[in-house]
Structure formats: C-alpha cells, structure tokens
Structure 1
Amino acid sequence: MLNATLSLIATDGIEQVTIRKIAALAGSNVALINYYFGSKEKLIGEAIKVQFDSFREAFSALENREVDSLTRLKSFLLQILSSLQEHPELMKRLVGQGQESMSESQAEYVSFFKTKGFEQIRATLEEITGETNAKVTSAMMQQIFAAIFSPAFRSACARKQAGADDDREFLTNVSVEEQVDLFFNHYFYRYLA
C-alpha cells in the first residue's frame, strides 16, 4: 500500500491520489486501507515518511570515514538525487510548503535537516576546504544545492509530467554522476590541486 501510494504520488501528484486508486494499484480494497491507516491523509503521511527516511539514510554517507570527504559528499548528493528523481513530487511538496502546513513526517525531516543534516554537510565541507567560518560553509552548501539539485529537480519534474523514462540524466546527455564530477572539479578545483 505504501509503495502504491508513493507510485501514485510520483505519477499523478499528491493532490490526485485517492484511496480507490491506491487500492486498485496495491491489489487491495478501500476497507483494508481504512482499517490499517484510518484515512488517506494518514496513509500518504506514512508513505512520505518512508521516502523521507531514505533521504535521511543518505546522510549516513557523510559519516563513512573509510573514504575521503569529497567522495562522501558525492555519495550523499547522488543518493539524494536518486530519491529526488524517483519522487520529485515529494520534494516539491516539502520545499513548497510552510512549516505550519506540513505533515508531522515532513516537519520531522525538515527539523532533522536543519539540525544534524546541515551540520554533517558543513563539517564535510570544512574537511574539504579547510574553511571554518560557518557563514561561508553555509553559503557553499546553498551554492552546491542550487547548482546540483535545481536542474535535477526541474528535469525530474518535467520528465514525470511528460511521462518519459527516468534515465538518471538531467538537462544534457551527461549522467548525473558526470554532472556532479564536473561541478566538483570546478567548484573545488583549488582544494583538489
């Protein structure tokens, strides 16, 4: 039921998801969904929580001290991008809402991201660059997200709307990983030399 809900959110958009559509896709029935989840909103909330947990898991890449800091950052970004491309509607919903209209699971993820998540990224950027000023590393974080996530997010949304296959590429015929490598080579060039 959760996978069916996520699939429908990705294809139809969260506002178009109905209990009947979920039941049909899951091979279930409306009564069973209501029994286990109580309402469409609770089911959608649980499905979103599952997806946000995968976003949270991406942060574990930043903790892997067996690889260098640049490799950790790249792994983190690629994992987030993968989730983003699978379910751009969820990220759009998360980014596009004020804190007061978020579900509990959305608010929990935003809270995690603002506390532990940002700190992990900032610490990784400190390792890469040697920069200790939190304002500078925060600005770097914003620049990285804008440069990498914005085109990927827009492309994923466009692909989902057009019904095109998810080919893990955005805006060009260069893979996402190649895009990240290109960005890193330019953005971190003075630290890589």
Structure 2
Amino acid sequence: MTKEKILDATLHLIKSEGIDSVTIRKIASEAGTNVALINYYFGSKEKLMHEAMKMILETFRSAFDIFDALEYQPIERLKQFILTYTSFLKDYPDLLKRILGHDPLFESVAEYVHFMKQQGFEKLSEVMTEVTGVTDRKTVLLMTQHMFAAIMSPFTKVNPVTKCQPNNCIQSSLLDIPISIEESIDLFFEHYFHKYSVEI
C-alpha cells in the first residue's frame, strides 16, 4: 500500500505542479512517508518518476484503442480519439512538450515516441484515409500533422518571457479565445473535413 501511495502522490504532484516542480521531499510529504522509504521502494527519484511517467503514458496510449472500435463511423472514431487525447493533455499539459522534445530524462517518453512512430501514427493514418479517401501516405501524414497542430496548439503555449531584448520576446499566445475543447474540435472538423462530404 505504501508503494502505491507514493506513486499516487507522485502522479498527483505531476498533474498539479508539473514535472519540473516535483521533488522527492514533496512526494514524501504528499504520501505521508519519508525519503528513505521512497528510496527503499524505488531506488531513486529518477526511477520513481520513470514509473509514474510510464503509468501516465499508458493512459495516453489507451486513447488509440478507439480506432479498433469498428462499430463506429471513421469520423466518430477520429473525433473520440481527439477528445480523449486532449483531455489527457489538459491534465498533463507540460507532458506534450516532453514528448515533442523526446526528453532524454525519461526512458518512458522514448518508449512512447517509439509506439507513436510504429503504431500510433499508423492507426491515425488509416482512419484519416477512411474519412477522406486520400491514400497518398505523404499527404495523409501532412493532414494528420495539420490536425494535431490546430487542435493541440493551446497545450504547447510558451510561458511569457519576463526579461528579453527588444524584438526577441516570446508571447504565450496571440489570441486567448474562450472556447471549450469540444467546440474547438467540432469547428475544426466542420471546416477541415467538409469537402469530403462526410456526416460529422
């Protein structure tokens, strides 16, 4: 039970404070235990974080299961995947940057990137072809990239820079539009896929 409490505490801190803010003392306090016991069960903070990240990324990977639910129309499978995936990103927003950056600190991120390359994008490509009828692989991959960039851009916002030289600043966002994830996805699907005459 103590090991599970430590993992649960780590997951909670990653979700509430972000990966970089998690310390072994915070984990011990959240779990109601001590640093020595954490090291006893996991060996080090790095190994504990690896286990926690692996659990989180398994949840991300489960979003792809919808593509095997052939009783649903392709457009519905695609929409449900995006809804599920973005809900996970909403809980762990800084994790997307780790995935995109192939963060070498976590072996589990490398494993997930490998899954995406070998299976994830393949499943996405297949359903995109079902939805659009486009079979050219390069075109399908570009369309998939467009979809991810458009829908997931709010999760990749950069924190405002407090000190910078003129004309060398990074803004967190050009526009902050009050719109739900569901509305954003519906709007994107309506405009992006309308030419394929698919009932959305």
Same fold (TM over 0.5): yes
- The structure with higher relative contact order (CA 8 Å, sep 6+) is 1
Counterpart pick for 2:110 among 90, 107, 110: 107
Task: Measure the CA separation in 1 of the matches of 2:176 and 2:58.
Answer: 28
Aligned equivalent of 1:12: 17
Residue segments in structure 2 that go unaligned for 5+ positions in a row: 1-5, 160-174
Question: Against the structure 1 CA distance between its residues 103 and 29, is the aligned structure 2 distance closer, same or farther, given a 3 Å change threshold?
Answer: same
TM-score by length of 1: 0.85
Alignment equivalent of 1:147, drawn from 150, 155, 163: 150
Displacement, 1:103?
2.2
Q: Which runs of 5+ in 1 are unaligned?
A: 159-169
Over 6 Å off, 4+ runs: none
- Taking only the aligned residue pairs, the percentage that are identical comes to 49
Deviations 1:58-117 (A, max 9, x none): 00011111110111011111111011110112222222245xx24221111000001100
CA RMSD of aligned residues (A): 1.8
What are the superposed Cα offsets for residues 19-73 of structure 1, whole Å, 9 maximum, x if unpaired?
Answer: 1100111222212211111100011111111110011000001111111011101
Larger Rg: 2
**What letter is aligned with 1:142?**
Q
Q: Give secondary structure in 2 for the equivalent of 1:65.
A: coil
State which of 123, 134, 139 in structure 2 corresponds to 1:136: 139
Matched residue, 1:120: 123
Alpha-carbon separation, structure 1, partners of 2:32 and 2:177: 38
Q: Distance in 2 between matches of 1:140 and 1:30?
A: 48
Counterparts of residues 33-182 of structure 1 (less than 5 Å): 33-97=38-102, 101-154=104-157, 171-182=176-187
Say whether 1:24 aligns with 2:10. Answer: no
